[in-house]
Structure 1
């Protein structure tokens, strides 16, 4: 089953860009996922189990690295990547 996630991260710190970039860099280490990033959110597309495993690992990593952050996620069934 395919999954699409839209995720936004809000670090509770003055230096907010580093934690956001770090999270995106962690997600990009998963070669089977398709990642699109814009100024408002990051979209993740891929197999349900792979996306959820990556998300779980990257959120845990983010909490361990940066402490308090807020994640806002939308989960959508299917691969809703924009068609080129």
Structure 2
């Protein structure tokens, strides 16, 4: 099953831009999913297991590395990747 994930990160740290950049780069490094980032959120598209595994690894890494922060996520059980609509 293909899914779409929209995730936003709000680090509770003065160095928030570097933290967000690191997390977005980690998401983009995964070759099993497609990632689009804009100024408000990052969207991840792909197979359910691949997206959820990446989310699990990323949130764990972020919490362990950077401490307190807020993640907001939305899920849709469909592939809404605009790259696939071209």
- TM-score by length of structure 1 reads 0.96
Q: Which whole-Å CA distance do the structure 2 matches of 1:46 and 1:70 have between them?
A: 23
Alignment of 1:45 with 2:45, yes or no, is yes
Q: Which structure carries more helix by proportion? A: 2
Which 4+ runs in 1 deviate beyond 3 A? none
Figure out how many residues of one structure are paired with residues of the other and give that number: 84
Unaligned runs of 5+ in 1: none
RMSD of aligned residue pairs (Cα, Å): 0.8
Unaligned runs of 5+ in 2: none
Q: Which whole-Å CA distance do the structure 1 matches of 2:43 and 2:11 have between them?
A: 18
Q: CA offset at residue 65 of structure 1?
A: 1.0
Q: CA offset at residue 15 of structure 1?
A: 1.3
Q: Which whole-Å CA distance do the structure 1 matches of 2:7 and 2:52 have between them?
A: 12
- TM-score by length of structure 2 reads 0.93
Q: Which whole-Å CA distance do the structure 1 matches of 2:32 and 2:53 have between them?
A: 12
